[in-house]
């Protein structure tokens, strides 16, 4: 389990194909057809960005670490794969996911502190710890008590030593890992595949190119490099990239999966350009208020 991803509940029960995800989501939407039609929501990735901002806002004053934040993000994603979002108060779900993730990642926070931060950053009206306590039951129950999450950070740390990544490359790879929680990748691929993708992108993109969001173009060229790996191992151009390319070609890492991860990240960075806090906030507020979900 913790050491053994292959035996984990994450691999056995929480890793899907894209098609499976699509089917499952369609099924949930169908059960709430009226709600879905009545309250349109922004793209899932934009919502994820908004959720991430809200989680960070709660986490920062409490000094909560990235790994707990990442676990909370995975919990939220799993939960909304089972429950239609318009039936929930996302503020409560996020606060609860963070509360639970902190316990699981061995950096527990008192439920009152979580409640206080949630109220502070959502100006929400739930003001009772029992709301979080009850939502915790729902969250755990929907996840079938499968709470241990395998993150790609560990694999990245191993790759970093193996390939002697520079500090900048490592930092870039880390932030790519942080970003992948905004996509479905944690439900689609094994942590080592995601870590490999992040490392590869970091090396190919070069950290000097500034902000990440503008990276779609860079990633596209990276994709071509991966294409070369598959077609003609050993034919790369740059030395450093060459070493990686050779390793990728020889390793058992699933190249198709790395390509898929890369594409997923490109489309995240593309859609990110259209992100505004306000749209997400307003559209969520609409169904929450109208349905009295914050009561």
Question: Which parts of this chain interact with other proteins (CB under 8 A)?
Answer: 1-4, 7-9, 65, 67-68, 83, 87-89, 92, 99-100, 103-108, 111, 129-138, 140-141, 144-148, 154, 293, 295
d(CA 253, CA 256): 9
Tell me the CA distances in angstroms from 258 to 93, 217, 287, one per residue in order: 31, 17, 37
Nearest approach, Cβ of 132 to other proteins (angstroms)? 7
Residues 96, 136 contacting (CB under 8 angstroms): yes
Nearest approach, Cβ of 139 to other proteins (angstroms)? 10
Residue 138 or 166: the one with the smaller Cβ distance to other proteins is: 138
Nearest approach, Cβ of 281 to other proteins (angstroms)? 19
Residue 65 or 240: the one with the smaller Cβ distance to other proteins is: 65
Residues 180, 194 contacting (CB under 8 angstroms): yes
Residue 82 or 206: the one with the smaller Cβ distance to other proteins is: 82
- SS3 for 91-136 is HHHHHHHHHHHHHHCCCCCCHHHHHHHHHHHHCCCCCCHHHHHHHH
Nearest approach, Cβ of 291 to other proteins (angstroms)? 9
Residue 57 or 65: the one with the smaller Cβ distance to other proteins is: 65
Instruction: Record the tokens describing residue 188, joined without a space.
Output: 């689609």
d(CA 127, CA 115): 7
Nearest approach, Cβ of 181 to other proteins (angstroms)? 17
Residue 92 or 165: the one with the smaller Cβ distance to other proteins is: 92
């Amino acid at each position: 389990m913790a050491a053994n991803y292959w035996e984990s509940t994450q691999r056995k029960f929480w890793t899907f194909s894209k098609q499976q995800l699509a089917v499952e989501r369609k099924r949930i939407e169908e059960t709430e057809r009226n709600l879905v039609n009545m309250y349109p929501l922004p793209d899932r990735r934009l919502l994820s960005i908004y959720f991430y901002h809200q989680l960070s806002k709660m986490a920062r004053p409490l000094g909560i670490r990235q790994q707990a934040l990442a676990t909370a993000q995975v919990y939220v994603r799993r939960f909304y794969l089972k429950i239609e979002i318009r039936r929930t108060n996302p503020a409560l779900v996020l606060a609860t996911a963070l509360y639970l993730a902190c316990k699981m990642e061995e950096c527990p926070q008192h439920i009152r502190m979580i409640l206080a931060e949630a109220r502070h950053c959502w100006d929400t009206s739930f003001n009772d710890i029992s709301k979080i306590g009850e939502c915790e039951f729902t969250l755990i129950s929907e996840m079938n008590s499968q709470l241990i999450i395998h993150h790609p950070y560990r694999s990245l740390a191993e790759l970093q030593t193996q390939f002697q990544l520079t500090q900048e490359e490592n930092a870039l790879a880390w932030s790519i890992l942080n970003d992948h929680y905004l996509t479905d990748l944690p439900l689609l691929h094994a942590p080592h595949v995601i870590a490999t993708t992040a490392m590869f992108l970091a090396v190919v993109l070069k950290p000097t190119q500034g902000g990440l969001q503008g990276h779609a173009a860079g990633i596209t060229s990276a994709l071509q490099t991966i294409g070369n790996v598959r077609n003609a191992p050993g034919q790369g151009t740059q030395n450093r990239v060459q070493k990686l390319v050779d390793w990728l070609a020889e390793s058992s890492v699933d190249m198709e999966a790395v390509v898929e991860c890369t594409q997923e990240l490109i489309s995240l960075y593309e859609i990110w350009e259209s992100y505004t806090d306000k749209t997400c906030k307003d559209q969520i507020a609409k169904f929450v208020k109208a349905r009295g979900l914050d009561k």
